[in-house]
Structure 1
Amino acid sequence: MGLLTNATAALFLSIALGHLIGRLRIGPVQLGGVCGTLFVALAIGQLGVTVSNDLKNTAFALFIFALGFSAGPQFFVNIRSGWRYGIFSLIEVVTVLALVALATVMFGFDAGTAAGLFAGSATESAVLGTAAEAISRLGLDAAEAGRLEANLATAYSVTYIFGLVAIVVFITQIAPLILKVDLAEEARKLGEKLGSGDTDEYEPGLPALVGRAFRAGPVAGSTVGEFERSRHNFVTIERLKRGRDIIEAGRDTVIEADDILFLLGRRQSIITAQDKLGEEVPVPNGGNVPITSLDLVLMRKDAFGLSVSQLRRAAGPELQRGVFISGIRRLDRAIPVLPGTILQQGDILTLYGTEAAVTRAAKELGHKLPPTDQTDFVFLGLGIVVGLFIGGLSFKAGALDLTLGTGGGALIAGLVFGWLHMHFPRHGTLPVPAIEFMKDFGLSAFIACVGLSAGPDAIRLIAEYGLQLPLLGLLVSALPALVSLFVGWKLMKIEAPILLGAIAGQHCSTPAITALVSQSKSGIPVIGYTVTYAISNVLLPLMGPVVVGMASALQ
């Protein structure tokens, strides 16, 4: 037992075993490493392990800054223009606050239990950090503050499980029954509406962009530009072989009967185009065109709000020629590259095509992402320090002493620094794997610290409230989703796959969107998910102090 009572060993053992348990899956529901870590930490905490508050605060600051940094670009974009879906994040916050307030009055919950119910039911682990800091500012003695923090962790661990089950089952099973829709069929129809016939959305095992060679056949006599326009510029004739010569094809090049054409484009578009061409032949020597890809941040103002196909038309025939958008990432999630997909500021576009074409298009569309895997620790360190400074500011409002605290300050700083990096990507580089590690390890370490400290009081709280917390976890998780379903379906007339994705996002539930994508056999729900996720991921953590203050006032 000596090793288990060592704080460092207990911390890493909680993380290791917690993430192992988190891999267990029951149907569409997976517990996840964070909740698994809390369970293990609560168990080991029965041995009386003590962990430094400084370690807990450092881990949370690292996590919450990284969370803000990754959400910053999309958060500010959606604040300005995304409230059609962002209304669901407000529904989530207001409904959960109201239900937690009602439960606090009915069952006499203390501030820790109420905040734990809020965090667990909304499946937003970041609330634990902001709520815990708010508890520390209540002016209570150490024993009482420790009791409330223990209740916070325990209530979260109990309600999180049931909240997670509720949102996953509601989105994938109950909501489709209410809407009377087949998710896969609805996603297919919406995909066709957005132009999936020109993409390879439903065949992910095959390459989306290909190069193939054909004899000219029926297109002889027309120009390269005329042929490409007939294919809506989804196919480019990059080169052609005429006799023994390999010729670079321009838009004014006239195609002759014996030419062999080398085509580059989307696989489905080339399959469709081959009916207008002669027989397919092996790519001749010298016919292959060097292909490259490049990632950039979309920053061209007149491209914001355009669909992929509208952007191609606006680019003109020369600029779009030989270059394709092969990937779009928003909030580090891939969204379908469909002709009807709407582009937003801060989207990460992957351009694919000839080097000259890709370079030319990149200069027009945004900022090229620097090819580096080095973390800018100057940027990171200054960002967190700025966040701590912001969090330390306070002002009086009557009898209330209002402050963002460490968590809220670091979150705001992360949002601003993430927005700055979007505009100046060569500075302040935080590679995606580094950000993911900061979020995963920072949150896991913080949760482990909370669980280890709360361990001795966990059994007491569970015995005190029995089935009340699990049932409340189900109710408080499902009711906001039901309200959003009614608003989105009856009032806003949003298509089912995007609506359910938005509901998963308002809940900040990665397991829910994963299950939804699997159920619908399409990435289309992610389009709605990214908007509400960006907003809820900021609003919900900021509610930690609000819940603590509300519960204290209602007692």
Structure 2
Amino acid sequence: MFDFLHEGYFVLFAIIALGLMLGDLSFKGFSLDSSAVIFVALLLGHLGFTIPAEFQTLGLLLFIFTIGIQAGPGFFEVFRRYGHQLLVIAFTLIASAALLTYGAILVFDIPVDLAIGVFNGALTSTPGLAAAFDATGSAVTAVGYGIAYPVGVIGVILFVQIFPGLMRVNLIREEQQYQSQLLEDHPGIINRNLRISNHNIAGKTLQELDVRGMTGAVISRVKHEGITFAPTAKTVLHLDDLIKVVGNEEAIAKMELLAGGSVDEDLSFDQRYEVSWLLVTNKSVVNKSIRALNLTTFNATITRIRRSGIDLVPHPHSRLRFGDKLLISGSSQEMIQVEKILGNEAGRLSETNFLPMALGIALGIAVGAVSINVFGLFNFSLGLTGGVLAVALILSNIGKTGPILWSMSGSGNQLVRRLGLLLFMATVGVSAGAEMESVIKNEGLT
């Protein structure tokens, strides 16, 4: 009657459910979250329950691919700017932990696969466990991870609380400096109304002046003879015209030198014009530059790009990404057409297209399987996890290939990533649980 209790699929989802319930429990602000799944799996594996091994690889692939897709757009930009510093820090941390692990192997005669699990558990690195399991194929690796993980968590908490004091670092001041640096990298976008008083620009079109190129600012509105409208490249500026300019503080200052001083006058559109935030959800315009989009033919101007919560000044060469939010001013009659071009379908942001995921993972597996002989000394390959991660990073940075979008919505990515992690931890935990008793008997806990 209760045979279903030993069915692999039932065991899998029972472990995930129990693990998530345990992970939701909090003690003084600390909780295991998804990592609790592996501890439940270790226990049930020790009690003799099993799960089909295929779920382990499936979960691993989904988890690694979604990490790469999420990190890709910012990974290469950050690496170009801070690559040297980050490599030094990462190498120092990993090398020191690896040396300690190697020392433990020599001193305590710990099996290598167990030590690798301890290494990742001490660093609380679940992605590291995934890569380690791919490399060793040993369930004992997860046993080491499960033993070291709680100690690693406590160590991280103590480190974060104690280390700043030892190094005499003021975290509040460091946070303020970081925010200042962030503002410097992405200056705040403001707008200001100016009156044209420079005779040298009067009578010239915006195309002739190349305002964006000279100042970095955008003219979003022009008021001429009492009528306010959204300008196009052919719009001619006249003396005493009022213009609304959008940009960072430096760009606005340049515009004041070019055009004239600021004024406190209203530049509200009349009923023929409007300003709207529109979403980029049409795949056909993703990766297109603003110049190629050519919205000026619809009497519309992009005055601001909001990407991942950061406001950016648009430039002709700026390329649009899926999910960008654009502030557009233009003719009310033409705005409907502009909306159709961009898509502006909020529901699309939460959709998950599995075709790019399937193609990307398949390509990653193929890349990881390629083996290169290095100077006749050894063969090098990225392996399953390395190949999938590398391909995901590259595809996410590319953004789009033909009709295929490689990006994923935030909610979709989080869902698939967490599902993959849960499948992986449940399966590897059960297989490790079966070995846990013998490992502890042979190696002990000290």
For this structure pair, what is the TM-score category when the shorter chain's length is used for normalisation? 0.5 to 0.7
Q: CA deviation at 1:8?
A: 0.6
- Note if 1:439 corresponds to 2:417: yes
Distance change (3 Å), C-alpha of 1:170 and 1:286: farther
Q: Which residue of 1 aligns with 2:303?
A: 323
CA–CA separation in structure 2 for the residues paired with 1:406 and 1:253: 64
Larger relative contact order, structure 1 or 2 (CA cutoff 8 Å, min sep 6): 1
Q: Which residue of 2 aligns with 1:154?
A: 143
Distance change (3 Å), C-alpha of 1:446 and 1:209: farther
Q: What are the equivalent positions in structure 2 for 1:448-459 lying under 5 Å apart? A: 448-459=426-437
Distance change (3 Å), C-alpha of 1:175 and 1:325: farther
Q: For 1:252, which of 215, 232, 237 is the aligned residue?
A: 237
Q: Which residue of 1 aligns with 2:99?
A: 98
Aligned to 1:109, the other structure's residue is in SS state coil
Q: CA deviation at 1:44?
A: 2.2
Aligned to 2:153, the other structure's residue is in SS state helix
CA–CA separation in structure 2 for the residues paired with 1:353 and 1:434: 25
Q: For 1:170, which of 151, 159, 162 is the aligned residue?
A: 159
Indicate if the aligned counterparts of 1:29 and 1:165 stay in contact, CA closer than 8 A.
no
Indicate if the aligned counterparts of 1:241 and 1:287 stay in contact, CA closer than 8 A.
no
Q: For 2:275, which of 283, 289, 292 is the aligned residue?
A: 289
Q: CA deviation at 1:368?
A: 11
Distance change (3 Å), C-alpha of 1:109 and 1:235: same
- Note if 1:191 corresponds to 2:179: yes
Q: What are the equivalent positions in structure 2 for 1:87-166 lying under 5 Å apart? A: 87-136=88-137, 148-149=138-139, 151-166=140-155
Distance change (3 Å), C-alpha of 1:285 and 1:61: closer
Indicate if the aligned counterparts of 1:68 and 1:415 stay in contact, CA closer than 8 A.
yes
Q: For 1:350, which of 305, 310, 324 is the aligned residue?
A: 324
Q: CA deviation at 1:122?
A: 2.6
Partner deviation per Cα, 1:198-225 (whole Å, 9 max, x = no partner): 967xxxxxxx889xxx9x8xx6674799
Partner deviation per Cα, 1:85-108 (whole Å, 9 max, x = no partner): 232222233222212111111222
Partner deviation per Cα, 1:489-545 (whole Å, 9 max, x = no partner): xxxxxxxxxxxxxxxxxxxxxxxxxxxxxxxxxxxxxxxxxxxxxxxxxxxxxxxxx
Distance change (3 Å), C-alpha of 1:104 and 1:251: farther
For 2:305, the aligned partner's letter is I
Q: What are the equivalent positions in structure 2 for 1:301-320 lying under 5 Å apart? A: none
Q: Which residue of 2 aligns with 1:406?
A: 384
CA–CA separation in structure 2 for the residues paired with 1:87 and 1:347: 32
CA–CA separation in structure 2 for the residues paired with 1:247 and 1:394: 61
Q: CA deviation at 1:427?
A: 1.9
Larger deviation, residues 278-287 vs 98-107: 278-287
- Note if 1:43 corresponds to 2:43: yes
Distance change (3 Å), C-alpha of 1:322 and 1:29: same
CA–CA separation in structure 2 for the residues paired with 1:297 and 1:186: 37
Distance change (3 Å), C-alpha of 1:169 and 1:61: same
Distance change (3 Å), C-alpha of 1:233 and 1:380: closer
CA–CA separation in structure 1 for the residues paired with 2:185 and 2:385: 46
Q: Which structure has the larger Rg over C-alpha atoms? A: 2
Q: CA deviation at 1:112?
A: 2.4
Distance change (3 Å), C-alpha of 1:209 and 1:154: farther
Q: CA deviation at 1:441?
A: 1.2
Partner deviation per Cα, 1:371-420 (whole Å, 9 max, x = no partner): 6735252x44344334334444557788977654433343344345445x
Aligned length: 391
CA–CA separation in structure 1 for the residues paired with 2:230 and 2:371: 66
Distance change (3 Å), C-alpha of 1:391 and 1:352: closer
Q: CA deviation at 1:451?
A: 1.1
For 2:159, the aligned partner's letter is F
Q: CA deviation at 1:159?
A: 2.0
What's the % identity of the aligned pairs? 23
Q: What are the equivalent positions in structure 2 for 1:218-233 lying under 5 Å apart? A: 222=197
**Structure 1: runs of 5 or more not aligned:** 137-147, 201-207, 301-320, 329-333, 358-366, 469-555
Q: Which residue of 2 aligns with 1:182?
A: 170
CA–CA separation in structure 2 for the residues paired with 1:130 and 1:18: 22
Aligned to 1:289, the other structure's residue is in SS state strand
Indicate if the aligned counterparts of 2:228 and 2:268 stay in contact, CA closer than 8 A.
no
Indicate if the aligned counterparts of 2:368 and 2:386 stay in contact, CA closer than 8 A.
yes
Indicate if the aligned counterparts of 1:369 and 1:426 stay in contact, CA closer than 8 A.
no
Question: What's the Cα RMSD here?
Answer: 4.9
For 1:123, the aligned partner's letter is T
Q: Which residue of 1 aligns with 2:66?
A: 66
Distance change (3 Å), C-alpha of 1:84 and 1:428: same
Indicate if the aligned counterparts of 2:65 and 2:392 stay in contact, CA closer than 8 A.
yes
Q: Which residue of 2 aligns with 1:519?
A: none
Q: CA deviation at 1:157?
A: 2.0
Q: Which residue of 1 aligns with 2:207?
A: none
**Structure 2: runs of 5 or more not aligned:** 203-210, 290-300, 332-341
Q: What are the equivalent positions in structure 2 for 1:254-273 lying under 5 Å apart? A: 254-255=239-240
Indicate if the aligned counterparts of 1:264 and 1:322 stay in contact, CA closer than 8 A.
no
Distance change (3 Å), C-alpha of 1:278 and 1:399: closer
* TM-score normalised by the chain length of structure 2: 0.67
Q: CA deviation at 1:48?
A: 1.1
Q: CA deviation at 1:349?
A: 8.5
Q: Which residue of 2 aligns with 1:424?
A: 401
Q: CA deviation at 1:116?
A: 0.6
Q: What are the equivalent positions in structure 2 for 1:532-547 lying under 5 Å apart? A: none
Distance change (3 Å), C-alpha of 1:199 and 1:126: closer
